[in-house]
Amino acid sequence: MSKLNRLDHPGSTRKRLPSAHFRPRSEYVRSNASSSCKVKIRVATDRASQQAEQERSSNEATKTSSQRKEDGERVFVSSNEGGVSKSVSMEFIFDDLDYMQTFSIMHTSAYSYLDSHLARMQSLNPLVSYDFSDDFDTEHALSLCRYVDIGFFSCAEWTEEATIELLENAVSRGCIIAVATRGPHGAILFEGQSWFRQAPHPVTPTDTLGAGDAFISGFLVSYVGGKADTGVQPASLIEDSLEKAAFFAAEICLVQGAFGHGLRY
């Protein structure tokens, strides 16, 4: 493949970007390296109309990963194990608590390296959402659930029985809602009393990069927005949010690089 045909997709931004498609007010905070990657990320987020209200720069390397695509499926090959995201503290997010309090929800993930700050985040007004990804240590993940309102787990390789047990434990340890995505088997949600299931929307994928993140964004935007409507029944809100999440995840599978703003290099 020639150099001009290669695309760089700023993956450190993609967990936050899908929500812009739903047009809520959404912003994110980040650590960035002082490098060409920083410029690429800024260009990509500008194109997607995503604001970064708080940012810290560092001479450390930007978090990067190498991937290949096989029949539309993304296969991760290697990474630099976190780069600036791991080496530079994100404690600066608490510099402006008034700003933080203006949001309905704060979303983070295992690869944002904010675990040590979750207790403080949980003490603020916004709900806390957390993406545990697919390579979590179960006991460590469950220990964080007391600080997490909505937890997401990637369980494509788990049996249904094991997935159900995980969600039950996540709720018993503190989550209000626990969600497991299971690839072609759809998603399962538990909120302490009732179980909900969502089938995937079948598509022939162009690129599966960001599909899980899109599911999370679709669910959160719909759920948090619907909570403001006192006339909506909780079960109906969850069902509608899961449906929109599945739809958006399928839609993102039809977009190159999750949000279509890759930069040639």
Provide the pairing of β-strand 150-154 with 177-181: parallel
Per-residue pLDDT tens over the stretch 22-51: 556 666 565 555 555 554 555 555 555 555
CA 45 to CA 37: how far, in whole Å?
12
Q: What number of CA atoms fall less than 13 Å from residue 17's CA on the CB side?
A: 24
Confidence (pLDDT) at 237 = 97
Buried b / exposed e over 39-64, threshold 16 CB at 10 Å, is: ebbbebbeebebebebebebebbbbb
pLDDT, average across residues 5-34: 50
What percent of the chain stands above pLDDT 90?
47
Q: Is the pLDDT of residue 179 over 70?
A: yes
CA 122 to CA 229: how far, in whole Å?
23
Higher confidence at residue 23 or residue 185? 185
> Hey, what amino acid is at 103?
F
- Which pTM was predicted? 0.78
Query: What's the fold here for domain 3-264?
Result: UDP-N-acetylmuramoyl-L-alanine:D-glutamate ligase (3.40.1190)
Residues 6+ apart with CB under 8 A from 204: 72
